[in-house]
Amino acid sequence: MRTHIHEVFNSIQGEGIYAGSRQVFVRFQGCGLRCNYCDSADARTRPPQCRVEKSPMSRDFRVVENPLDINILKGIIEDLWCPSAMHVSLTGGEPLLQSDFILELSDIVSHPLYLETNSAHPEMARALKDIIDVASCDIKLPEHEACEDYEGLLADELETVGVFCDCGAETFVKLILLPGTAAESIRRPVEGIADISRHIPLVLQPAAGKRRISDRALAEMQDLASGLLRDVRVIPQMHQAMGWL
Ligand code: SF4
């Protein structure tokens, strides 16, 4: 089996509740959304070649032809695995669009799988629910302008969160906050998460960039969400703090 992959590399997770942990990242091609803050626009294209890091965190890459064979990918993952690695991070783009490939990959790779998803494909989440160890689920806000039908997207995203939560995967939700995001904007997603479980951790992540959301707005959102959920954290993207963006 083969698929189009953008990059495979070893790095430090920069977002969410596992920020700071080492992972081997497999960045898949393709995404059906169009978020206005997207920093992975190249992952929405179909690249003729895949960039493969030569050794863990070397930042030195070689090029491999796409589509990449699944057994070659397994070998690359093993070469990039290191003593501190905790997961293979399946990211994108949107990895759930390649659910058949990921299902087969899980048969030949024994490391824990960490899924970074836009949560827009609950039917594919169902197909993968038994092989995912950690599900990092994004929920979009209206001001992200991710698609035309925000109501439909929100319903799909909450369904995806429910699928992973119900099957026992370690599940958390990430909301990206833009400089103009107001507390009211996060109310419906937060209520939807709380309807699934009050125990799902929620990460409020200010969008990377020069303009920042005000401290007061952040505090207001954290207070609002904490009225319904047990664990609400503000975690900025670490790669920006480290000067990697
Ligand atoms: S879901 Fe992710 S990859 Fe897709 S457009 Fe939004 S930010 Fe970019």
- In tens, the pLDDT along 136-174 reads 999 999 999 999 999 999 999 999 999 999 999 999 999
End-to-end CA gap in the chain? 33
Q: Can you give the CATH number for the domain in which 35 is found?
A: 3.20.20.70
| 118 CB near ligand 1 (under 6 Å) | yes
Number of separate domains in the chain:
1
Task: Give me ligand 1 centre to Cα 31, in Å.
Answer: 6
- Nearest-atom number in ligand 1 for the CA of 93 is 3
For the chain, state the CA radius of gyration. Answer: 17
| 40 CB near ligand 1 (under 6 Å) | yes
Can you spell out the DSSP letters for the chain? -EE-EEEEEEEE--SGGGTT-EEEEEEE---S---TT-S-GGGGS--SEEEEESSTT---EEEEESSEEHHHHHHHHHHH--TTEEEEEEESS-GGGGHHHHHHHHHH--S-EEEEE----HHHHHHHTTT-SEEEEE---GGG---S-HHHHHHHHHHHHHHHHHTT-EEEEEEEEPTT--HHHHHHHHHHHHHH-TTS-EEEEEPSSSS---HHHHHHHHHHHHTT-S-EEE---HHHHTT--
Beta bridge partners of 49: 65
| 32 CB near ligand 1 (under 6 Å) | no
- Nearest-atom number in ligand 1 for the CA of 92 is 3
Q: Please tell me the residue having the least CA distance from ligand 1 atom 8.
A: 38
| 225 CB near ligand 1 (under 6 Å) | no
- Indicate the burial class of 146 (C-beta count within 10 angstroms; 0-12, 13-18, 19 or more): buried
Residue type, 239: H
Q: Please tell me the residue having the least CA distance from ligand 1 atom 3.
A: 93
| 43 CB near ligand 1 (under 6 Å) | yes
Residue 208: the pLDDT is 82
- Decide if 21 contacts 27 (C-beta within 8 A): no
Beta bridge partners of 206: 177
* Residue of 6, 35, 36 best suited for mutating to test ligand 1, as the one with most atoms within 8 Å of CB: 35
Per residue in 85-97, pLDDT (tens digit) is 999 999 999 999 9
Pairing outcome for strands 113-117 and 134-138 = parallel
Q: Quote the CA–CA distance of 51 and 26 in Å, as a whole number.
A: 10
Residue 210: the pLDDT is 65
Q: Quote the CA–CA distance of 211 and 219 in Å, as a whole number.
A: 17
Residue 43: the pLDDT is 74
Residue type, 234: V
Residue 31: the pLDDT is 94
Low-confidence residues of the chain: pLDDT under 70: 210, 245
* Residue of 27, 29, 40 best suited for mutating to test ligand 1, as the one with most atoms within 8 Å of CB: 40
- Domain limits for position 116: 2-241
